[in-house]
Amino acid sequence: MGMTMTQKILARHAGLSEVKAGQLIEAKLDLVLGNDITTPVAITEFEKAGLTQVFDRDKIAIVLDHSTPCKDIKSAQLCAQARDFAGKYAITHFYDVGQVGIEHALLPEKGLCAPGEAIIGADSHTCTYGALGCFSTGVGSTDMAAGMATGLAWFKVPAAIKVTLKGKLRPYVSGKDVILHLIGLIGVDGALYQSLEFAGEGVAELTMDDRFTIANMAIEAGAKNGIFPVDDKTRAYLEGRVSRPWEAVEADGDAVYEREVVIDLSALRPTVSLPHLPSNTKTVDEVAGLPIQQVVIGSCTNGRLKDLEEAAAILKGKTVAAGIRCIVIPATQQIYMDAMKAGYLETFINAGCAVSTPTCGPCLGGHMGVMAAGERCVSTTNRNFVGRMGDVSSEVILASPAVAAASAIAGCVADPSKI
């Protein structure tokens, strides 16, 4: 019986010739990730277990991105705990204020993820790296602690859903619209503990930033991971970033899938997710005119250079509507620099936006854009649960950078093609 891409990677890392859905395996890890929220919990468990060494200081990444620069005493204490641990064990890939970026944009940028690798992270959106053809998934902090010590993790091999993409994206439609459309089709539990495996001619039409966005939100459909095949665009992205050997995998022709979902990219319209689930999707024209108070453009989902380019193209020469707060957060320091050189940051500031240092901040209601009671935000982030970005009566509408930028100008949910 053939294997999917995910199953092939897990078999390789378990030292097995084949694995099957539902099988329990122990697999070697290529990278273990934590952030300033989850790493301190892992450190506590690490020390409680009496552990005194890490398996490989070059294969652990600690990124202080959620509440940095620190927003309060508690966040400062958590970051201090992570700094002490990183120093004690000489962790190679430790990213603090000044070098930090939002973890799921930063790690691929730094070349820490490559095709065929197995990666765990104590953050649910670790599935982002599947855009590069690797198996990556979120775990709890105790699993992170065990992974840091042993370089191993237990997995139940996931079954898979094949998502076949065809056609080409139309103007103002991006990877965010693709994944929101898919989640709207199958629901937030539609891929529960399954792998979303993307295939078809339409994959070649997606930029790497589109793929990162789509893989990032696989968890919002309940998936264990999302994964794309490796093609010329993947190789071009890896060139100059990854110098170590890597080996991509391809799904077998007779691989078994739970089902197949076919998406015609050319039929998609700009799409949003209304409160309070990512699956509550509508096309933007169905909800245009809905009043808002805030717009956030950034996050591990949509804070990359292409995202900022799309937003800047719409905001250039225009002004954010009166009464609207528009917050722009480049995902990494490099993206910040590139956006500055391209003139995007000047465009945002001239339009009346606030531009922030890289941080997860508003996405989880931490800082840099927390909402008051009754407020509504159009955001390029990945979750719109009750109270996600502030008061429990506030609301989050998930959207692409193009829709977010158009909405900032209009002062309400807006179709970017009509701005």
Helix 39-48 with 73-88: angle, nearest 10 deg = 50
User: Which phi and psi angles does 162 have, rounded to 5°?
Assistant: -90, 120
Q: Which residues make Cβ contacts (< 8 Å) with residue 180, sequence separation at least 6?
A: 217, 271, 272, 273, 278, 281, 398
> What is the C-alpha separation between 355 and 363, in angstroms, rounded?
15
What single string gives the DSSP state of each residue in 167-217?
Answer: S-PPTT--HHHHHHHHHHHH-TTTTTTEEEEEESGGGGGS-HHHHHHHHHG
From 225, 4, 229, select the one nearest 121 (Cα to Cα). 225
- CA 203 to chain centroid, in Å, comes to 18
Pairing, β 135-138 against β 93-95? unpaired
pTM of the model: 0.96
Q: Is the pLDDT of residue 149 over 80?
A: yes
Helix (H, G, I), strand (E, B) or coil at 72: coil
| Contact indicator for 259, 221 with CB cutoff of 8 Å | no
Distance CA 399, CA 407 (A): 10
The pLDDT, as a whole number, for residue 360 is: 93
pLDDT of residue 419: 85
Average predicted confidence (pLDDT) for the chain: 96
Nearest alpha carbon to residue 101 among 297, 312, 330: 330
**Is the peptide bond prior to 181 cis by the omega test (within 30 degrees of 0)?**
no
Which is it for the CA torsion 315, 354, 177, 104, positive or negative?
positive
Distances (CA, A) of 257 to 5, 181, 183, 197, 260: 11, 20, 18, 9, 7
User: pLDDT at position 260, please?
Assistant: 97
Question: Going from the N-terminus, what domains does the chain have, and what CATH number goes with each?
Answer: 11-263 (3.30.499.10), 271-418 (3.30.499.10)
How far is 352 from 327, CA to CA, in rounded Å? Answer: 9
Tens-place pLDDT, residues 317-373: 999 999 999 999 999 999 999 999 999 999 999 999 999 999 999 988 889 999 999
SS3 content of the chain, % helix, strand, coil (to 5): 40, 20, 40
pLDDT computed for residue 295 by the predictor: 98
Per-residue pLDDT averaged across 217-241, rounded? Answer: 97
At residue 33, the 3 state secondary structure works out as strand
Contact 65, 101 (CB under 8 A): yes
* pLDDT tens per residue across span 21-31: 999 999 999 99
Q: Give the pLDDT score at 400.
A: 98
Residue 68 has pLDDT above 90, yes or no: no
> How far is CA 156 from its chain centroid?
23
Question: In this structure, are residues 174 and 213 in contact, taking their beta carbons and an 8 Å threshold?
Answer: yes
pLDDT in tens, 73-120: 999 999 999 999 999 999 999 999 999 999 999 999 999 999 999 999
Q: Which pLDDT score is estimated for 226? A: 98
- Distance, first Cα to last Cα, the chain: 52
pLDDT grade, residue 181 (50/70/90)? Answer: very high
| pLDDT value, residue 1 | 76
What are the residues facing 205 on neighbouring strands? none
DSSP 231-243: -HHHHHHHTTT--
Q: Judge contact between 148 and 39, C-beta under 8 A.
A: no
Share above pLDDT 70 across residues of the chain, in percent, rounded to a whole number: 100
Q: How would residue 283 be classed by pLDDT, with cut points 50, 70 and 90?
A: very high
Question: Which residue in 102, 14, 92 sits closest to 359, CA to CA?
Answer: 102
User: What pLDDT digit, counting tens, does each position of 231-267 carry?
Assistant: 999 999 999 999 999 999 999 999 999 999 999 999 9
Dist CA 354 CA 86 (whole Å): 32
DSSP 224: S
